[in-house]
Amino acid sequence: MTETLRPRFQFTIAATDGKARTGTIAMRRGDIRTPAFMPVGTAATVKAMKPETVRATGADIILGNTYHLMLRPGAERVARLGGLHRFMNWQRPILTDSGGYQVMSLSDLRKLTEEGVEFRSHLDGSKHMLTPERSMEIQRLLGSDIVMAFDECPRADQPREVIEASMEMSMRWAQRSRDAFDAGGDHAAGAALFGIQQGALDEELRRRSADALTAIGFDGYAIGGLAVGEGQEAMFAALDFAPEQLPADRPRYLMGVGKPDDLVGAVERGVDMFDCVLPSRSGRNGQAFTWNGPINLRNARFAEDTGPLDDRCTCATCGTYTRAYLHHLVKSGEILGAMLMTEHNIAFYQQLMQAMRNAIAEGRFAAFAASFRATYGAGRKEPV
């Protein structure tokens, strides 16, 4: 009996409620339920978590970082060791970002040209050149399932002419990324490529970007250039128009977002995929996300609190450990504190995504969002 080959990339929308959508992305390495939150595994690890624990929280896909992995341990080395999935023991889908954002944000020593970006490593000062073609090559060597086009991400407070020129160059880079990806042989036959919309907060520039990307043709479309300091109100204002400028039959991915209330507001506006370092970074720093808002376990009021982090959460941390113990671990700088707090935060994010998927499927997303904001917002008034 011949085994049925799973699709390379197939997005199915199962239900909509207002602009919110729920569905499935089917890929060779497994299904991704949408709306989806992708934990960030920057250097081939979701910090303070084992891959099997990440999966146990409900994550269907994780994100790897092209910039960091190309510098250490090196994409060629990862390829020699069997690819990123084998290297880190994660057999489900992996999305890799293109590296462009990190080059812009981490390196002061860089030179941007039409060809690409020349920069010095933040690790040892060595010189590197990252182009659309090299970014596609690195992501191919890593064995990425969802490859991101190479782009530039300017700050939203730049003059309009700077943002426009940057967007137009990113669209030229998008075509070069498409061409280089398609030349990738077996990898291209089994992976997907996403384009990235740019244009900051400008509706007309984002429309032009969306049109250019749609003309090239991608498996999915990311909304880039948001969550870079403009604030939630401005981000939501852009999301009031940006997702609908992109093809409705393809996944829409909001890069680098965000806080739990950001996710709810973005799903409300038609976004399907997210990634953010916040749940893991906050966990390492003693902050837990709960249905009643974030709490800081460093606070003395938790020193003798025998309750769980969140009595609605079903994660192993909440089912086993008290706030008092976690307070002790965090205050003592114990590694276990970072592990347990991160596990809870990642699990909370996955439970939030599942709750949104259920609400959309049952046609009650508006009520869910209103209830969430009321409860989460009330909790945020407490000191953290």
DSSP states of 35-77: SEEEEEETTSS-TT--HHHHHHTT-S-EEEEHHHHHHTT-HHH
Give the span between the Cα atoms of 189 and 183, in whole angstroms.
10
Catalytic pick among 17, 97, 151, 219: 97
Residue with tokens 């893991």: 280
73 preceded by a cis bond (ω within 30 of 0): yes
Catalytic pick among 60, 202, 272, 275: 275
Residue pair 214/247 in contact (Cβ under 8 Å)? The answer is yes
Give the span between the Cα atoms of 85 and 89, in whole angstroms.
6
The amino acid that residue 99 corresponds to is: G
What 3-state class would DSSP assign to 23? strand
- The neighbouring-strand residues paired with 34 are 23
| Residue 305 annotated among the catalytic residues of the structure | no
| Residue 310 annotated among the catalytic residues of the structure | no
What 3-state class would DSSP assign to 305? coil
Number of other CB atoms surrounding residue 258 within 10 Å: 20
How many residues comprise the chain? 384
Residue pair 115/83 in contact (Cβ under 8 Å)? The answer is no
What 3-state class would DSSP assign to 31? strand
Number of other CB atoms surrounding residue 214 within 10 Å: 16
Give the span between the Cα atoms of 26 and 111, in whole angstroms.
39
Give the span between the Cα atoms of 147 and 138, in whole angstroms.
10
Counting beta carbons within 10 angstroms of the beta carbon of residue 203, is it exposed (0 to 12), middle (13 to 18) or buried (19 or more)?
middle
Give the span between the Cα atoms of 60 and 319, in whole angstroms.
22
Residues annotated as catalytic are: 97, 275
